[in-house]
Structure 1
Amino acid sequence: MFVVIQTRVQLCDRQLPLIQMILSLLILLASLLQQYGTEAESSDISKFQLSNIKEPNGVQESIQEKVITVSGEGMIHSPDFPHTYPRNSMLVWRLVAANSMRIQLTFDERFGLEDPEDGICKYDYVEIEDPTEKTIQGRWCGSQSAPISQKSRGNQIIVRFISDEYFSSEPGFCIHYSAIPEIVSEPEVPAVLPPSLQGVEELSEAVAVLSTVEDVMKYLEPERWQLDMDELYKPTWHVLGKSFLLNKKARGADLNQLREEVRLYSCTPRNFSVSLREELKRTDVIFWPSCLLVKRCGGNCACCSHRCFDCQCMPAKVTKKYHEVLLLRHRSGTRGLQKSITDVALEHHEECSCVCKDDLD
């Protein structure tokens, strides 16, 4: 019995160093894990702080946007240019020049991205944004031809490249950029003869663009226009208008009102009804309503330039507006009609102007 107990004690004494070694290894492993977690946390913090680093030009650089200071010439391009670019990519470059400089962008002739759908770049494209005016200057894709050169309106410009997770093309794109000085051109002041020295045609055109009788008087006689206004409506013994004699108006005709009426009913946007099937060239379907109201330029151009013999009322500003209508079409191979609400885009004329046909030619 004593021998058995002594043997067990000897076994426990032999196992004790092994247990202590295992405990030491566990403590060391826990220490390493804690140190790794602290380093990872500090690494995450440094990455987060990286997104808040500001460039010397004051522009904040984020992880998804690379800021490039433009002082000379350089280039940006799609990954692996001129070979196939990767799928599912988004790259943004913000080019920043000095306040007195502008940025010129020139596309390499080798240009090719995924083709558009229905004329719209939906999938892979490169676009240029002007942060000064917060507008998109252009968006391009396909492989027809390289886009034309672009110029920033301010001292910054943003280039954005997007590719989806499906098809990719080659060679991608490459844009050369350079800083150019801002050209401040003083408006040219045309040499205009005083009204007293102008001929009938020149004086007639100059007066036609003025808005009120007061403006006409100020143009003709800037120093004594108020006296001319008083003299204009003062009755004399040899000139008495019918409106004055009949006591209908105290000061004669309201010339400003007469001119405003002509302006309202001349070349201006007005309501027109258009047939959707004819407008959209869709004779295979039925729309309801079949007609919609749009704004289109109408009216004559009698007040066009006297030197123009064929003056036409043309749109100066055109926008597209979307209208919801009911679309009916025959189902293929079955009876009945397919019914759906759809959007149709129609052109609306917001501004109109009289244009001489010779200028159009």
Structure 2
Amino acid sequence: MILPLLFLLASLLQKYGSEAESSHVTKFHLPSVKQQNGVQDSEQEKIITVSGEGMVQSPDFPRRYPRNIELTWRLVAPSNMRIQLTFDERFGLEDPEDGVCKYDFVEIEDLSEKAVLGRWCGSQSVPTSQTSKGSQIRIRFISDEYFPSEPGFCVRFSLLPVSASGPEVPAVLTPSQQDIENLSETVATLSTVEEVMKYLEPERWQLDMDELYKPTWHVLGKSFIHTKKARGGVDLNLLREEVRLYSCTPRNFSVSLREELKRTDAIFWPSCLLVKRCGGNCACCSQRCYDCQCVPTRVTKKYHEVLLLKHRSGGRGLQKSMTDVSLEHHEECACVCNDDWD
């Protein structure tokens, strides 16, 4: 009687011990990357499955964020939905340098378009709302080792149906959709290169400014400086010099770059530049001269660095780059008689 009971007890212990061991192993192998609210940790970024409303923010928001960190969140929505981002009114990161966010900034990238929607820093104004064109968007926050600010940032996200994400045809043509003549007229009215960039790319103009002034392999502009020796001291010479200044001499003229360079396929900013060209009358020319004209006797080429705008092929927006243009400058002028008096 005792022997069968011992066999039964041993069998039960073996069975339940195996189940306990199996349960322990299954629990150990559960994916450790899964967290609450659909958040997963990966080596490079935190993946957030967007099924409703939520938020991402700088560490310790709304207090001073830590130094020397880089955080990335990838928001993933269903394929038939779009992601809308709205910034909290409390926004403040390290100020930009020369209008460009170089040190501490938050950046939003539309992964379906492979395009950066914007980069923001400082505390002058809260970034505008953003809506993705696809179902994935990336938010990146970087702070360097100097001058952390407060309160940092907080971005709230929500879902929009594809039909509600925006009209298919914009009511106003974007700069890249305008023809070259209309775009040229508009750009010519802008006062600074910052205004040009803001008009062309309102959401990413700071990135364009940063890229624009990076060193490139294009030929650097050249400068030719010519000094004039002034003589005089006596009244007669001074009077003669004053007359010469208003006679046939090199003087400032404004020229349209598109007309001067015969480039109707491009837009330049500034659209006009100053050049030295011969001007003034030839009243002091020989009295025997019937047709006296002011002409250049010494001409040089000078190089000016300007902003060049061109349409990309296939309607892929505008190409923006710094380029050198070569313009003629008249260094010396003289009155030349075309027809002698017979």
Query: Which is greater in Rg?
Result: 1
The answer to which structure has the higher helix fraction is 1
Q: TM-score surpassing 0.5? A: no
- What is the TM-score with the length of structure 1 in the denominator? 0.40
- What is the TM-score with the length of structure 2 in the denominator? 0.42
The answer to which structure has the higher strand fraction is 2
